[in-house]
Amino acid sequence: MPRLARSEWYDLTRDMNWTLSYVKEEEAWPAELSDGFGLPAEAWWAWDEPYKVTYPEYVHNQYGKDASVYAVNAVVGRSRMYERLDPGWKSAILAHYGVIAVPEYLASLGESRMGRFGRAAAWRNMATFGALDELRHGQIQTYFPYGLLPQEPRADWAHKALHTNEWGVIAARSLFDDMFTANDAVSMAVQLTFTFETGFTNLQFLGMAADAMKVGDVDFGALISSIQTDEARHSQQGEPTIGLLVEHGRADVAQRLVDHMFWRSWRLFALLTGLSMDYYTPLEHRGRSFAEFMREWICKQFLDQFRDFGLEKPWYWDEHFLPELDWYHHALQLGIWYWRPTVWWNPDAGVAPEEREWLERKYPGWNDTFGGYWDVVAANLRAGRPEATLPETFPMICHLCHIPVVAPAGYLAGRLASPRPYVLDRNGRRYVFCSAPCRWVFEQAPRRFQGHTTLIDRFLGGQVQPPTMEGALAYMGLSPEETGQDATGYAWAHAAPHGRTGPRD
């Protein structure tokens, strides 16, 4: 049977749109599954992305990627590589697996929704590959930690985490449900593929892969590199979607969707990547700081893309977002370390004397603000009072991002006008927000968010029994063996100041 050249069939099979006659447009693309934002149906047919691939090419490429990365895993699995890794790095990858592995599977549901409800055939074609990508990412990121189980029981949380009510998981689930599990196809293309993947994870995965290789974790490095190549392709769905919205007079929609999801993505990104880069990665392997990475890569790339589309930077950019680069993740770091029993990984304090010098160099003033908290904590540890470094109550949690409210730290750092949370009374219920942008996102679509309950709501509502810290840990799915401990056994608190050889006073 003669074979046609690719160029003779590709465009026809990739992009075959047709006018509906048996059903109405709103029946084929219901707004809750695919909001066209008023663009004529045929306007979407101009949707075009630059990263074109056929199914045989896709299968060939993916087979090669899987063969390569599973081969690395098989070799590394027979070595003692994992046990030789730095404890902080282990924490970083265990946190990553718990938050990311199963949501990758959920992302395949989102991609599948675009594969059916995308408003152009070319888009549906690309999204189908995206669904296959995310299935692979879900499988590979549960398989690799599965192989670690004999050495690392906490790797079980790669699969377990998203099925629990652990607080960080609630935050991640809320974000990802908003972004893709419960999002319509058009909004998802703007919020998942453009804002989150193009804006954050593409660059993050490149950086993490390089860091993994530097610390000697070739297993994780190979895994992340392999995933990133898929992300680079399927994240291309966002730009043509925004381009069409702007071209047809709906720049307001694109702007609102991006502003909404950039902020939410930033919140989780600061928690995961901020801690990983500035505290969990071994000092000798740290390059740029998290704030430098954000400014040089995320911010610059994102602003360039905004300008390309004629969009404005988000309204909160200068007043709220940029100032947070210097304090927000430092506050989360101390909070997560202090409330360490509530996470499934072992938080690395990352504040030994030489690490504090690095932090002060990268974040001038760090010692005067965050260093002061750690001084009190370290003094308790050196005095043999570890119980004084453990929590007896809970932080308030934001009703939008579901992350603890650390505004007082921003106030102490001179970056916020007030340490108080934002409170909103609505329909007889009191909502608490960590920041003005979180309140703004909520107020854009209150019916979408008003039913969510934070861990504090559940605690006060009697769902957490007994209503104690132990009861809360059980509610979050954390057995005593799984609760987070200090990653280095408090070695940092007893380390001699830089330049001295004896122990600290």
Partner 1 sequence: MALFPLQAVFDGDLVVLLVPVDDTDPMTVVADKVAHHVVGHRVAAQDRPLRVRHDGRTLPGDATAVSAGMRPLDVVEVGYVP
Rounded to a whole number of angstroms, the minimum distance from the CB of residue 353 to partner 1 is 19
Of 186, 201, 14, 55, residue with least CA distance to 110: 186
Question: Which CB, 232 or 412, lies closer to partner 1?
Answer: 412
Question: How many beta carbons lie within 10 A of that of residue 107, not counting itself?
Answer: 28
Residues β-bridged to residue 422 = 433
**Whether the Cβ atoms of residue 432 and residue 401 lie closer than 8 Å to each other:** no
Question: Which CB, 144 or 459, lies closer to partner 1?
Answer: 459
Question: Which CB, 79 or 418, lies closer to partner 1?
Answer: 418
Rounded to a whole number of angstroms, the minimum distance from the CB of residue 405 to partner 1 is 4
Question: Which CB, 69 or 455, lies closer to partner 1?
Answer: 455
* 3 state SS for 220-247: HHHHHHHHHHHHHHHHHHHHHHHHHHHH
DSSP 195: I
Rounded to a whole number of angstroms, the minimum distance from the CB of residue 67 to partner 1 is 47
- Residue 12 Cα to chain centre, angstroms: 37
Rounded to a whole number of angstroms, the minimum distance from the CB of residue 432 to partner 1 is 7
Rounded to a whole number of angstroms, the minimum distance from the CB of residue 371 to partner 1 is 12
Rounded to a whole number of angstroms, the minimum distance from the CB of residue 379 to partner 1 is 9
Quote the radius of gyration of the chain (alpha carbons, Å): 24
Dihedral, 408, 409, 413, 415 alpha carbons, nearest 10: -60
Q: Which residue do the tokens 């680069």 mark?
A: 325
Question: Which CB, 151 or 418, lies closer to partner 1?
Answer: 418
Q: What is the DSSP secondary-structure string of 252-276?
A: HHHHHHHHHHHHHHHHHHIIIIIHI
Question: Which CB, 265 or 435, lies closer to partner 1?
Answer: 435
Question: Which CB, 372 or 503, lies closer to partner 1?
Answer: 372
- Interatomic CA distance for residues 378 and 128, integer angstroms: 52
- Interatomic CA distance for residues 494 and 487, integer angstroms: 14
End-to-end CA distance of the chain: 83
Question: Which CB, 60 or 420, lies closer to partner 1?
Answer: 420
Rounded to a whole number of angstroms, the minimum distance from the CB of residue 58 to partner 1 is 47
Rounded to a whole number of angstroms, the minimum distance from the CB of residue 457 to partner 1 is 10
Question: Which CB, 147 or 408, lies closer to partner 1?
Answer: 408
Q: Which residue type does 433 have?
A: F
Rounded to a whole number of angstroms, the minimum distance from the CB of residue 423 to partner 1 is 7
Q: Which helix (H) or strand (E) holds 75?
A: helix 55-77
- Interatomic CA distance for residues 123 and 120, integer angstroms: 5
- Interatomic CA distance for residues 354 and 357, integer angstroms: 5
* DSSP H stretches of helix in 415-461: 436-444, 446-449, 455-460
Contacting residues toward partner 1, per CB under 8 A: 331, 334-335, 338, 372-373, 375-377, 380, 388-389, 391-396, 404-409, 412, 419-421, 423, 430, 432, 456, 459-460
